[in-house]
Structure 1
Amino acid sequence: MDELYPPLPARAEGFLDVGDGHRIRCQEAGNPDGKPVVVLHGGPGSGIAPMARRHFDPEAYRIVLFDQRGAGQSTPGAGDLAANTLWHLVSDMEALRERLGINRWQVFGGSWGATLALAYAETHPSRVSEIILRGVFTVRQSELDWIYRGGAANLFPREWEAFLAPIPADRRDDPLSAYAELLADARVRDAAAVAWSRWEGATVSLYPQESFVQQYAEPAFALTFARLAVHYFTHGAWLEDGQLIRDAGKLAGIPGVIVQGRYDAVCPPTTAYELHQAWPGSELKLIEGAGHAVTDPGVLAALRAATDAFRP
């Protein structure tokens, strides 16, 4: 963890009413007069992680974080699905930027956070100074099929069998829709959520780590994580298939760094490569010996190099 800056407490914290009955929890850390950066958590549903504040020089950056709708301490929580789409989250970011009086900010996100970062930047490019992405995910059908329809199963057959176990045998050709039904059934919802989340925990790191599996399988986390992920992915995140890469030309002129593990089994590097090809001026850093996890070898160092390079 030497690649991270020292632990950094939040300097300010509160809630922003974004409408539709939602209030998002927001934090600031670092220098209040520093360069603004907004940090987008993954999932959907994982919430603010204290470690996320440590990617940035606290003397140089004004670090903004928030729990997305239905996640973390935002209300209503526990994976609330009402008025909860990708475009609601994009609007929430704009409301937060305006509330904080920020003209332009750096956008930093990994995995699902990279999805939201791209959607926001392609919608509001004039509000973005730079973009840093990790483990790129754009919610194309091919990406969903890889992780939820048997692609990654070739690397993790035992874990895939456990992922399929809650699904009736005649529904296993479409695990996403099957999990949507399971998570809507109060009798089996909690067990299904744990099975869903354990699959992510098993595949996230280059070298399987039981600590990841246990973290993802914690029941309260798993329920929020599974409900939001299945909600978003069964709707293709309300994107046209391939939209975020198709529209990457809108990012021309915005400096960007893409950090991608060579052996990412959750979000394979082909997506990051195709995004890099479509985004003029972007830089792709393919990290050998790394998977999807931010703590895999070389990933934290590459992220810190990127944030340091964009320091004022």
Structure 2
Amino acid sequence: MASLYAEISAFETGTLKVSDIHTLYYEISGNENGKPVVFLHGGPGGGTSELDRRYFDPEVYKIILFDQRGSGKSTPSACLEHNTTWDLVEDVERIRKHLGIHKWVVFGGSWGSTLALAYAETYPEPVKALVLRGIFTLRKSELVFFYQNGTSHIFPEAWDEFIAPIPEAERDDMMKAYHSQLNSDDDAIRLRAARAWSKWEMSTSRMNLDLEAVERAAQDDWANAFARIENHFFFNEGWMRDGQLLEKQAIDKIRHIPTVIVQGRYDVICPATTAWALKKAFPEAEFHIVPNAGHSSKEDGIAKLLVEATNKFRHL
């Protein structure tokens, strides 16, 4: 990923209490007096990493990262209570106000693209630009493709590992079956399911297997938050209408916002059909298909276009 900026450290870290239960971790890096940009991580439940700072010119941007409810360094870990799409939308706005930011660029990939769209369609005024990668809009067809019948045809050996914890009689609804196990009172059942759920996604995210990501899926604390929160959101269909983020009345609210869409052609987690549906609903957006990439923002072609997009918006 030669196109990424050099590693940098955060110059400020902090926490923000957003409910009686949840406290968010956030950090700021780059130029203290620079142009604000907020990074919305994937999952949901994935949390942020030091790598996420590197898509932005640190001399130009004031780079804000935060861990969403129950994720990363936010507390309590893996908590599902008061944790919905719309809670997270309000959290993004709370962070903006807490940091005294008037307007900012919003950057999100995978679930982060979902949250970025939901936030911008709810609060279009503070959004200067959108950079979206690996588009996911939480439609039922998207969930069925990855968790029931689609990616399973392309990664059959990984699929067999994914279905292994689930009794054969329950495999006609993997989302429901995993929901039961991921909320089990039995730690062994819950953690086995969490590791299998997380490994399935980590095993399919890139054209070439990312062993480091697969190893992370075996870490109980990370896998527990990632799997439980993802399944919680997807089982509940994001607390939105099917296709809500693509509806004309929603897109009309953001047509004026400069937007770049970056999509891997061979993304089997968030297939290109969703990015194309967004482009058709939102023709004003700039659209890029990366011909030799899957889902991960770490893939060279995707990383290069993401940096080009953030560089393009440096003048805003």
The two structures have a TM-score, normalised by structure 1, of 0.98
Q: 2-side partners of 1:124 and 1:279: how far apart?
A: 17
Q: Do 1:136 and 1:260's aligned partners in 2 also have CA atoms closer than 8 Å?
A: yes
Alignment of 1:1-312 (within 5 A): 1-77=1-77, 79-187=78-186, 188-246=189-247, 247-312=250-315
Q: 2-side partners of 1:299 and 1:218: how far apart?
A: 27
Identity %: 48
Q: 2-side partners of 1:209 and 1:41: how far apart?
A: 18
RMSD: 1.0
Q: 1-side partners of 2:97 and 2:298: how far apart?
A: 33
Task: Measure how far apart 1:178 and its partner are.
Answer: 0.3
Deviations along 1:112-133, one digit per CA (max 9) or x if unpaired, are 1111000000000111000001
Number of residues paired by the alignment? 311
Give the 3 Å change call, closer, same or farther, for CA 279–20 of structure 1 in structure 2. farther
Task: Measure how far apart 1:46 and its partner are.
Answer: 1.1
Deviations along 1:102-155, one digit per CA (max 9) or x if unpaired, are 111100011011110000000001110000011011100000000001210010
1:113 alignment partner AA: G
Q: Do 1:108 and 1:131's aligned partners in 2 also have CA atoms closer than 8 Å?
A: yes
Task: Measure how far apart 1:280 and its partner are.
Answer: 4.1
Q: Do 1:249 and 1:280's aligned partners in 2 also have CA atoms closer than 8 Å?
A: no
Q: 1-side partners of 2:308 and 2:61: how far apart?
A: 14
Deviations along 1:149-203, one digit per CA (max 9) or x if unpaired, are 1210010111111111111111000000100101111330011110111100111
Deviations along 1:181-232, one digit per CA (max 9) or x if unpaired, are 0111133001111011110011100122333321223222111100000100
Deviations along 1:42-101, one digit per CA (max 9) or x if unpaired, are 111111111111110111101111110001111111x10110001001111111111111
Q: Do 1:251 and 1:280's aligned partners in 2 also have CA atoms closer than 8 Å?
A: no
Task: Measure how far apart 1:19 and its partner are.
Answer: 1.5
Q: 1-side partners of 2:244 and 2:20: how far apart?
A: 26
Q: Helix, strand or coil: the match of 2:15?
A: strand
Q: Helix, strand or coil: the match of 1:177?
A: helix
1:207 alignment partner AA: N
2:126 alignment partner AA: R
Gaps of 5+ in 2: none
Q: 2-side partners of 1:64 and 1:229: how far apart?
A: 23
2:268 alignment partner AA: A
